[in-house]
């Protein structure tokens, strides 16, 4: 089962960076003999003793040994690591839907710390941190060349205390922001019935079921079933499943989410070390969305379990995938407890979509690419060339003189800070969401026409028989 690695008080989701993960032609591994392994282990013990006895300051043996184990596992891949008792406990606390920290998922990238995505409604998201941002300093101290665990420990702290992060974003100057640590209560799903933000005729505009999944946790399946049950009662025309900036989570949750929209078909397969080590997961009978159109929104911050859902619905022809290419994290991690409260987190397999595509380093390519854009009105309310523009045109006796001050005030109001906008106004500015809703409506209308045409054809056939 896929598990996220939440270390200490900050949610961490290690991801392979693109450069490090590019396939390389390597020489076949020359395995050591038992005798050679024993000899190297003796050398490791000798290094430990020599370093402990000769280091200029008093050595911390536990820290040295944990570092050695972490180094051993990180040599395999960036996802594998050693979990101390504290790390292991906090991982399990997070799996129950609550943890302490900033609400930010990070990864190591070329010696720096890169943001995968902030979690909705957390200190990180409220501070405006975005997927792709780089954290270069923590409380003024540089993070370059620190291990991911070391960076995490510097961000850890008691809820209510503050931490300063220096953020770098492409095309912008570095900025330092102060965040207050908090207990993060993760609610995987938000849902609502959405209307067209630009519609002038509410009665004719079909309602869209909007479901936002921020991560795949222990409660995701139940929350999704509740959401679909509620939205189906409202007779929505179709669904937008928003997986943008969702870093993943439990494999079982990803399977359940996919299954909720499928009647049958393969969802995902995992393939391990041995050629015969293949496990396939299939959908059970029962589409909880009753066959209604589904558009899945993804972006560069959609990873792992998000990609499993997007790939399953795409390959089974159940949904249109829209947005930008996903992250490309297609490996499976599992915890192996060591019996003393510690554990190792290790990569055991790769994910494949139903058509046999590997997600690793490739990600999910959307059916319709829609990059997040700023909506801009290109056509003015009044043309420079119209009847009114002629010098001697007749005036309209009923027209009222415009108040230029009111017009200026209206323009200022429209440019207010995004954070102060209502949910409806934010929806109107979410270009990807608006295009997804348009697609659901179009698919719904096409489906209705097909039903009407089939009904008409059936009636004609019955008439011929008579």
Q: What are phi and psi of 75, to 5 degrees?
A: -70, -20
pLDDT surpasses 70 at 359: yes
Please enumerate in sequence order all residues whose Cβ is within 8 A of that of 273, keeping only pairs 6 or more positions apart, or say none. Answer: 348, 349
Question: Binning pLDDT at 50, 70 and 90, where does residue 450 land?
Answer: low
pLDDT surpasses 90 at 292: yes
Burial of 216 (0-12, 13-18, 19+ CB in 10 A): buried
The angle, 0 to 180 degrees and rounded to 10, between the axes of the packed helices 34-54 and 61-74 is 140
Given this model, what pLDDT does residue 420 score? Answer: 61
Report the distance separating Cα 202 and Cα 25, nearest Å. 59
Contact 268, 255 (CB under 8 A): yes
304 is catalytic: yes
> HEC profile for the chain?
CCCCCEECCEEECCCCCHHHHCCCCCCCCCCCCHHHHHHHHHHHHHHHHHHHHHCCCCCCHHHHHHHHHHHHHHCCCCCCEEECHHHHHHHHHHHCCEEEECCEEEEEECCEEEEEEECCCCHHHHCCCCCCCEEEEECCEECCCCCHHHHHHHHCCCCCCEEEEEEECCCCCCEEEEEECEEEECCCEEEEEECCCCCCCCCCCCCEEEEEECCECCCHHHHHHHHHHHHHHCCCCEEEEECCCCCCECHHHHHHHHHHCCCCCEEEEEECCCCCCEEEEECCCCCCCCCCCEEEEECCCCCCHHHHHHHHHHHCCCCEEEECCCCCCCEEEEEEECCCCCEEEEEEEEEECCCCCECCCCCCCCCEECCCCCCCCCCCCCCCCCHHHCCCCCCCCCCCCCCHHHHHHHHHHHCCCHHHCCHHHHHHHCHHHHHHHHHHHHHHHHHHHHHHHHHHHHHHHHHHHC
Give the model confidence (pLDDT) of 214-228 as tens digits: 889 889 999 999 999
Q: What are phi and psi of 136, to 5 degrees?
A: -105, -25
Given this model, what pLDDT does residue 107 score? Answer: 77
Burial of 64 (0-12, 13-18, 19+ CB in 10 A): middle
pLDDT surpasses 50 at 8: no
Of 84, 214, 304, 326, which residue is the catalytic one? Answer: 304
Percent of the chain with pLDDT over 90: 42
Question: Binning pLDDT at 50, 70 and 90, where does residue 341 land?
Answer: very high
User: Mean pLDDT across the stretch 166-193?
Assistant: 87
Report the distance separating Cα 374 and Cα 370, nearest Å. 12
Of 120, 207, 329, 331, which residue is the catalytic one? Answer: 329
Q: Which is higher by pLDDT, 242 or 184? A: 242
Report the distance separating Cα 135 and Cα 127, nearest Å. 13
Which residue bears the tokens 């594998």? 80
pLDDT surpasses 60 at 65: yes
pLDDT surpasses 70 at 365: yes
Q: Among candidates 303, 343, 242, which has minimal Cα distance to 17?
A: 303
Given this model, what pLDDT does residue 429 score? Answer: 82
pLDDT surpasses 50 at 118: yes
Of 315, 324, 331, 427, which residue is the catalytic one? Answer: 315
315 is catalytic: yes
Q: Which is higher by pLDDT, 308 or 188? A: 308
Given this model, what pLDDT does residue 4 score? Answer: 37
**310: alpha, beta or left, given left = phi > 0 and alpha = psi -120 to 50?**
alpha
pLDDT surpasses 80 at 437: yes
181-195, 321-335, 436-450, range with greatest mean pLDDT: 321-335
| Residue positions counted in the chain | 466
pLDDT surpasses 50 at 194: yes
Share the mean pLDDT of the chain: 80
Give the model confidence (pLDDT) of 375-424 as tens digits: 555 554 444 445 554 555 556 655 555 554 454 444 444 434 545 666 67
25-29, 105-109, 126-130, 241-245, range with greatest mean pLDDT: 241-245
Please enumerate in sequence order all residues whose Cβ is within 8 A of that of 168, keeping only pairs 6 or more positions apart, or say none. Answer: 133, 134, 136, 174
Question: Binning pLDDT at 50, 70 and 90, where does residue 106 land?
Answer: confident
pLDDT surpasses 80 at 5: no
CA distances from 86 to 1, 15, 59, 338 (A): 22, 22, 21, 14
């Amino acid at each position: 089962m896929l598990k996220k690695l939440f270390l200490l008080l900050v949610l961490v989701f290690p991801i392979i960076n693109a450069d490090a993960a590019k396939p390389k032609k390597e020489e076949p591994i020359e395995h050591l003999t038992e005798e050679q392994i024993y000899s190297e282990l003796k050398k490791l013990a000798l290094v430990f003793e020599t370093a402990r006895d000769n280091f200029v300051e008093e050595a911390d043996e536990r820290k040295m040994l944990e570092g050695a184990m972490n180094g051993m596992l990180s040599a395999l891949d960036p996802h594998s690591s050693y979990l101390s008792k504290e790390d292991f406990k906090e991982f399990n606390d997070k799996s129950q839907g609550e943890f302490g920290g900033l609400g930010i998922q990070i990864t190591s990238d070329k010696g720096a710390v890169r943001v995968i995505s902030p979690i909705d409604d957390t200190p990180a998201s409220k501070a405006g941190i975005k997927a792709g941002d780089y954290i270069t300093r923590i409380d003024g101290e540089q993070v370059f060349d620190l291990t991911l665990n070391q960076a995490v420990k510097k961000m850890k702290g008691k809820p209510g205390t503050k931490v300063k992060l220096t953020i770098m974003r492409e095309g912008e100057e570095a900025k330092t922001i102060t965040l207050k640590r908090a207990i993060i209560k993760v609610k995987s799903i938000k849902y609502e019935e959405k209307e067209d933000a630009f519609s002038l005729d509410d009665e004719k505009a079909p309602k869209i079921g909007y479901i936002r999944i921020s991560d795949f946790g222990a409660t995701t399946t139940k929350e999704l079933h509740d959401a679909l049950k509620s939205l189906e009662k409202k007779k929505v025309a179709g669904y937008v499943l928003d997986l943008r900036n969702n870093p993943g989570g439990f494999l079982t949750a990803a399977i359940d989410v996919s299954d909720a929209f499928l009647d049958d078909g393969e969802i995902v397969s995992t393939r391990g070390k041995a050629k015969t080590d293949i496990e396939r997961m299939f959908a059970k009978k029962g589409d909880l969305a009753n066959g209604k159109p589904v558009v899945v929104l993804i972006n560069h911050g959609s990873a792992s379990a998000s990609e499993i859902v997007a790939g399953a619905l795409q390959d089974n022809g159940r949904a249109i995938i829209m947005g930008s290419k996903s992250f490309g994290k297609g490996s499976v991690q599992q915890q192996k407890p060591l019996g003393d409260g510690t554990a190792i987190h290790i990569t055991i397999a790769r994910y494949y979509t139903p058509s046999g595509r590997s997600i690793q380093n490739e990600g999910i390519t959307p059916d319709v690419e829609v990059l997040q854009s700023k909506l801009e009105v290109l056509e003015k309310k009044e043309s420079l060339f119209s009847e009114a523009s002629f010098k001697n045109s007749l005036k309209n006796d009923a027209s009222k003189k415009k108040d230029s001050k009111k017009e200026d005030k209206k323009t200022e109001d429209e440019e207010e800070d995004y954070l102060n906008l209502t949910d409806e106004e934010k929806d109107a500015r979410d270009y990807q969401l608006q295009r997804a809703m348009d697609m659901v409506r179009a698919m719904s209308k096409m489906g209705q026409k097909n039903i009407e045409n089939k009904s008409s054809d059936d009636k004609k056939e019955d008439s011929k028989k008579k």
